[in-house]
């Protein structure tokens, strides 16, 4: 099959990861880039030897473009996404899907109605360790699930927030550590444990001079009756590896920074499972992102589009973690438990 023509929109830090990954994906061919900053657009286009678009409208009008990858700040996702849908373009959106649930839901419905493909980047689902955990849970190896926790206790410097005006703002980022850093682990948690029924949370600013939270804690109840805890921060010194714990009647599994740390499951030899597929550990306090999992997910998306199939992480999947995060914000503001089916707004 011919590779799909691709444009990357938004030329910030995460765009670099996508642009690097695209070089290794034969199913895709990068055609051009665009961002609201002309100088950055020019530099990225020159570095990758592709077209520099003058506007988002020109991206949408280009007949060589089949797929648009949105790497803009999250508050712009739906607005650009609806324009892409009107132009008949398939769409890949960096997490989160948006900062407003109703707008994000409209985007998802629009893509379904038009028969176009919409995918959301949650690359941590594509590690071998996460796949092994998901397979074990789907096979029922842990029995009835009773508790699932996600801990993302990192540090981000004042320079990190000063480096981009939209970071730490409600208007464009839509939140702080929960919607930006922890949402990957929240996505994995609900993928492993099942959908969430209700949340109770509190968020606050612990140390940074920003609008949004740098510390958040929540209690969850899943649809299957299990409970869960989320701890999220960019204010913890010195910062620790993110961690997900899954506990069932027949055992427990603990993931730490993409590795299986503990596999205490009845009938299983732990040595066969621990430390599966070590990823690049890197610095937990660095915003730099290793690109191998992006590459894996992007290739799956492009292959799915070529074959006329839905990608694994559809728009509907992207809505799930967004709803959890926004429900926690609502709970903190209203100081009450939020039933995500009945109270969420």
Express as a percent the part of the chain with pLDDT over 70.
96
Q: Is the pLDDT of residue 104 over 80?
A: yes
Task: Name all domains of the chain by residue range, CATH numbers in brackets.
Answer: 4-123+293-313 (3.40.50.720), 125-285+321-339 (3.30.360.10)
Alpha carbons 313 and 301: distance in angstroms, whole number: 8
Beta carbons of 312 and 125 less than 8 angstroms apart: yes
* Rounded CA separation 315/97 (Å): 8
pLDDT of residue 345: 83
- pLDDT tens digit sequence for 213-233: 999 999 999 999 999 999 999
Mean predicted confidence (pLDDT) in 51-61: 98
pLDDT recorded at residue 210: 98
85-114 mean pLDDT? 99
Question: Scanning the structure block, which residue is given the tokens 């419905």?
Answer: 109
List of long-range contacts for 49-53, beta carbons under 8 Å, 24+ apart: 53/7
Which pLDDT does position 27 carry in this prediction?
98
* pLDDT at res. 291: 81
Residue 267 CA: distances (Å) to CA of 4, 139, 144, 249, 264: 46, 13, 15, 13, 9
Residue 279 scores a pLDDT above 70: no
**Whether residue 266 has a cis bond before it, omega within 30° of 0:** no
What 3-state class would DSSP assign to 210? Answer: coil
Whole-model pTM over 0.85: yes
Concatenate the DSSP letters of all residues of 299-311 into one string.
HHHHHHHHTT---
Quick one: average pLDDT of 287-293?
73
Nearest CA to 85 among 106, 114, 64, 56?
114
Average pLDDT, the chain: 96
Q: Which two tokens stand for residue 29?
A: 């061919």
Q: Is residue 267 within 8 Å of 143, Cβ to Cβ?
A: no
Average pLDDT over residues 32-46: 97
For residue 290, the model assigns a pLDDT of 63
Buried b (16+ CB within 10 A) or exposed e, 273-282: bbebeeeeee
How far apart CA 116 and CA 311 sit, in angstroms, is: 11
- For residue 283, pLDDT over 90 is answered with no
pLDDT score at 289? 63
Please indicate whether residue 278 or residue 169 has the higher confidence score (pLDDT): 169
> What are the residues whose beta carbons fall under 8 Å from the beta carbon of 72, sequence distance 6 or more?
9, 10, 12, 35, 80, 94
Comparison of pLDDT for 194 and 344, the residue scoring more: 194
Q: What is the pLDDT of residue 275?
A: 77
Strands 196-204, 215-222: parallel, antiparallel or unpaired by DSSP? Answer: antiparallel
> From the centroid of its chain, how far is CA 27?
22
Q: How confident is the model at residue 59 (pLDDT cuts 50, 70, 90)?
A: very high
pLDDT in tens, 150-160: 999 999 999 99
Mean pLDDT of 294-311: 98
Residue 64 has pLDDT above 60, yes or no: yes
Residues facing residue 93 across a β-bridge: 70, 120
Model pLDDT, residue 285? 60
CA pair distance 146, 248, nearest whole angstrom: 5
State both tokens at 27. Answer: 């199913």
Section 184-208 average pLDDT: 99
Query: Is the pLDDT assigned to residue 282 strictly greater than 70?
Result: no
DSSP class of residue 188 equals: H
Quote the CA–CA distance of 105 and 255 in Å, as a whole number. Answer: 31
Q: Are 220 and 331 in contact (CB under 8 A)?
A: no
Distance (Å, whole) CA 310 – CA 154: 34
Q: Is the pLDDT of residue 286 over 70?
A: no
The closest of 181, 175, 187, 173 to 76, measured between CA atoms, is 173
At residue 46, the pLDDT reads 98
Query: Strand 227-233 relative to strand 243-248: parallel, antiparallel, unpaired?
Result: unpaired
Predicted pLDDT of residue 278 = 54
Cα–Cα distances in angstroms (integers) from residue 34 to residues 58, 196, 217, in the given order: 9, 37, 37
Residues contacting 173, CB < 8 A, separation 6+? 73, 74, 75, 99, 166, 167, 179, 180, 212
DSSP string for 330-344: HHHHHTS-EETTTT-
């Amino acid at each position: 099959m011919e590779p799909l023509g691709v444009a990357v929109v938004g030329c910030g830090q995460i765009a670099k990861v996508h642009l690097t990954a695209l070089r290794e994906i034969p199913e895709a061919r990068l055609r051009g880039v665009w961002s609201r900053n002309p100088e950055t657009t020019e530099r990225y286009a020159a570095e990758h030897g592709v077209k520099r678009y003058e506007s988002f409208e020109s991206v949408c009008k280009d007949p060589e473009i089949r797929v648009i990858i949105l790497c803009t700040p999250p508050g712009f996702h739906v607005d650009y996404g609806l324009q892409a849908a009107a132009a008949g373009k398939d769409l890949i959106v960096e997490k989160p899907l948006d900062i407003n649930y109703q707008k994000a839901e409209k985007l998802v419905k629009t893509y379904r109605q038009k028969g176009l493909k919409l995918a959301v980047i949650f690359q941590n689902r594509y590690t071998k360790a996460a796949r092994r955990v998901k397979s074990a849970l789907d096979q029922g190896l842990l029995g009835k699930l009773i508790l699932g926790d996600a801990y993302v206790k990192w540090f981000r410097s004042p320079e990190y927030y000063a480096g981009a005006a939209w970071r730490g703002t409600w208007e464009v980022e839509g939140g702080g550590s929960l919607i930006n850093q922890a949402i990957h682990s929240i996505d994995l948690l609900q993928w492993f444990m099942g959908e969430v029924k209700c949340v109770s949370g509190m968020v606050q600013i612990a140390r940074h001079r920003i609008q949004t939270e740098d510390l958040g804690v929540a209690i969850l109840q899943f649809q299957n009756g299990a409970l869960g805890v989320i701890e999220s921060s960019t204010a913890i010194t010195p910062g620790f590896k993110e961690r997900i714990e899954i506990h069932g009647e027949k055992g427990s599994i603990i993931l730490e920074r993409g590795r299986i740390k503990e596999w205490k499951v009845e009938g299983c030899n732990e040595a066969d499972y621990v430390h599966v597929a070590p990823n690049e550990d890197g610095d937990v306090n660095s915003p730099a992102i290793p690109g191998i999992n992006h590459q894996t997910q992007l290739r799956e998306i492009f292959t799915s589009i070529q074959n006329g199939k839905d990608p694994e992480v559809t728009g509907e999947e992207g809505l799930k973690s967004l709803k959890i995060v926004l429900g926690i914000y609502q709970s903190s503001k209203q100081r009450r438990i939020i039933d995500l089916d009945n109270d969420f707004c």
